[in-house]
């Protein structure tokens, strides 16, 4: 099976090189890995001790971030190497100042894994949620470097748990982990059935992250002025199918202001979105204290501010539910916003939980979106109840970061306390 894995990695790399001719993300993926070894060698301090964090993309980075920042604050003698698989994570966080080195993960070959580990020599390694790269992880085990899975979540339809030869082969990757910090009991049962007991059910570190976001959110007076006492829907990380439904709702309903933060902020996409909206709209970059009052829709054409904008909202719509899956619903939830999203949410524990509790709602079309919004806005008690549910849910699920630190770094923190 290892031979077929090698072929699959080689084929994937070949496809990326061909796609890079016409695809921007594929080009970033390819170019970002060029000369990775000499570039990394220039940055590594051979006299320092490194901890390596690996994330697939931006969402997984947000799960690892609370742990990274806690370590940098409390145990600053460690240096942090942060790797990303996808351009959407790396390109946004390549200047993240809490990591000493930020780079793309080299392709998963035995040669790359050995060169990377021999150069960085990490003391500990953290893979976030979903990443399982065979050669890197098995080489970590061979070199007796502890590797941990953070905020892991498993489902019975994943390949690890199939009875196929591929399933048995992939289960070997799981056996290389030192410990799993997982989100729920269902994941624990699956690991137990696979003969693994080195796990702790401690929840999702994203709850700690969104709590930090809420506590340190920025002020945007222009959003308050735009809202002007009206109900405000904040639509975050939207894609074209979401926007088609949202704009149809906007064009047919009055008395509601809408902030749209599209996942793609390129000018061409913003222009397309504005052309779909029949009411006065503005780009965030073009707002003034005068023109903001005349707009019904505000389109966010920058990145990095969405999480703070939710605090001005009455309710939130989260995109991705008509594609591969919804984006982060915990950011609006921590501010007490009821959350609406499309049908692709099943693999997200927090979405299922909040639907069952009554703080989140799923829709399949524009008619259902209109019904959900009108139902919430027409009844103050329903809106208040849903809001209280989301806030309570986030608060009750905090603490995973502290649990992980206590489990892995208790000796270092004991020494730190004794020194003080």
Domains 2-203+399-419 and 218-396 in one fold: yes
Please state, in angstroms and rounded to a whole number, the distance separating the CA atoms of residues 130 and 151: 9
| Pick from 175, 216, 173: nearest CA to 198 | 175
Express each pLDDT in 32-85 by its tens digit. 899 999 999 999 999 999 999 999 998 899 999 999 999 999 999 999 999 999
Res. 298 pLDDT band, cuts 50 70 90: very high
pLDDT tens sequence across 237-287: 999 999 999 999 999 988 899 999 998 888 889 999 999 999 999 999 998
What is the separation, in whole angstroms, between the first and last Cα of the chain?
A: 52
Long-range contacts of 344-352 (CB under 8 A, 24+ apart): 344/320, 345/321, 347/155, 349/153, 349/183, 349/184, 349/204, 350/204, 350/393, 351/326
The confidence score (pLDDT) of residue 413 equals: 59
How high is the pLDDT of residue 11?
Answer: 87
Supply the pTM of this predicted model: 0.85
Asked whether residue 416 carries a pLDDT value surpassing 90, the answer given is no
**Nearest-CA neighbor of 130 among 205, 51, 223, 60?**
60
Q: What is the mean pLDDT of residues 347-369?
A: 95
Cα separation, 222 vs 306, whole angstroms: 14
Binned at pLDDT 50, 70 and 90, residue 104 comes out as very high
**pLDDT surpassing 80 at residue 174:** yes
Is the CB of residue 346 less than 8 Å from the CB of residue 157?
Answer: no
* pLDDT of 420 strictly over 60: no
Residue appearing with tokens 């984006």: 327
Return the pLDDT at 419: 47
d(CA 82, CA 103): 6
Spatial CB neighbours of 223, under 8 Å, sequence gap ≥ 6: 259, 298, 309, 312
Report the distance separating Cα 212 and Cα 1, nearest Å: 44
C-alpha closest to that of 9 among 136, 198, 149: 136
For residue 414, name the pLDDT band (cuts at 50, 70, 90): low
β-sheet bridge partners, residue 150 = 128
In a 10 Å sphere around its CB, with 0-12 CB exposed, 13-18 middle and 19+ buried, how is residue 351 labelled? buried
Q: Looking at the structure, give the CATH architecture of the domain made up of residues 218-396.
A: 3-Layer(aba) Sandwich (3.40)
Report the C-alpha gap between 400 and 336 in whole angstroms.
21
Digit-coded pLDDT (tens) for 120-133: 999 999 999 988 99
Token digits for 269?
């996409």
**pLDDT-derived band at 13, boundaries 50, 70, 90:** confident
Q: What's 2-203+399-419's CATH class?
A: alpha beta
As beta bridge partners, residue 152 has 182
The pLDDT tens digits for 343-353 are 999 988 899 99
Where are the domains positioned within the chain?
Answer: 2-203+399-419, 218-396
Rounded CA gap, 228 and 230, in Å? 6
Q: Tell which residue, 153, 41, 51, 154, has the closest CA to residue 99.
A: 51
Backbone dihedral angles phi then psi of residue 328, each to the nearest 5 degrees: -70, 115
Say yes or no to pLDDT of 415 above 70. Answer: no
Q: What is the CA radius of gyration of the chain?
A: 23
Give residue-wise pLDDT tens across range 179-213.
Answer: 999 999 999 999 999 999 999 999 999 999 999 98
């Amino acid at each position: 099976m290892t031979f077929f894995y090698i072929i699959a990695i080689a084929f994937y790399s070949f496809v990326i090189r061909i796609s890079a001719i016409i695809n921007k993300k594929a080009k970033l993926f390819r170019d970002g890995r060029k000369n990775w070894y000499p570039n990394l060698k220039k940055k590594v301090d051979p006299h320092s001790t490194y901890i390596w964090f690996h994330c697939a993309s931006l969402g997984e980075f947000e799960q690892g971030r609370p742990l990274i920042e806690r370590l940098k604050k409390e145990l600053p003698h460690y240096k942090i190497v942060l790797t990303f698989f996808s351009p959407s994570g790396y390109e946004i966080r390549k200047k993240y100042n809490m990591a000493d080195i930020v780079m793309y993960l080299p392709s998963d070959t035995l040669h790359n894994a050995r060169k990377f580990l021999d150069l960085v020599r990490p003391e500990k390694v953290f893979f976030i949620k979903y990443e399982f790269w065979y050669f890197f992880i098995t080489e970590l085990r061979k070199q007796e470097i502890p590797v941990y899975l953070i905020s892991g979540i498993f489902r019975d339809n994943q390949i690890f748990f199939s009875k196929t030869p591929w399933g048995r082969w992939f289960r070997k990757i799981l056996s290389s982990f030192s410990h799993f910090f997982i989100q729920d009991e269902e994941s624990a049962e699956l690991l137990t059935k696979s003969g693994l007991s080195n796990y702790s059910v401690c929840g999702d570190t994203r709850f700690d992250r969104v709590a930090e976001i809420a506590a340190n959110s920025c002020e945007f007076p222009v959003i308050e002025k735009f809202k002007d006492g009206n109900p405000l829907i904040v639509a975050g990380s939207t894609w074209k199918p979401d926007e088609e439904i949202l704009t149809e709702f906007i064009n047919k309903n009055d008395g509601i202001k809408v902030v749209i933060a599209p996942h793609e902020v390129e000018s061409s996409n913003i222009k397309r979105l504005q052309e779909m909206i029949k009411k006065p709209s503005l780009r965030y970059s073009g707002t003034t204290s005068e023109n903001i009052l005349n707009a019904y829709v505000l389109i966010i054409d920058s990145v990095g501010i969405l999480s703070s904008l939710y605090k001005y909202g009455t309710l939130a719509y989260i995109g991705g539910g008509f594609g591969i899956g919804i984006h982060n619903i915990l950011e609006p939830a921590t501010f007490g916003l009821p959350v609406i999203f499309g049908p692709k949410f099943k693999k997200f524990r927090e979405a299922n939980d909040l639907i069952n509790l009554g703080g989140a709602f799923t829709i399949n079309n524009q008619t259902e979106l209109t019904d959900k919004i009108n139902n919430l806005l027409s009844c103050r008690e329903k809106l208040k109840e849903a809001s209280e549910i989301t806030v309570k849910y986030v608060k009750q699920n905090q603490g995973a970061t502290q649990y992980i630190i206590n489990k892995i770094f208790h000796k270092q923190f004991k020494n730190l306390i004794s020194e003080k």
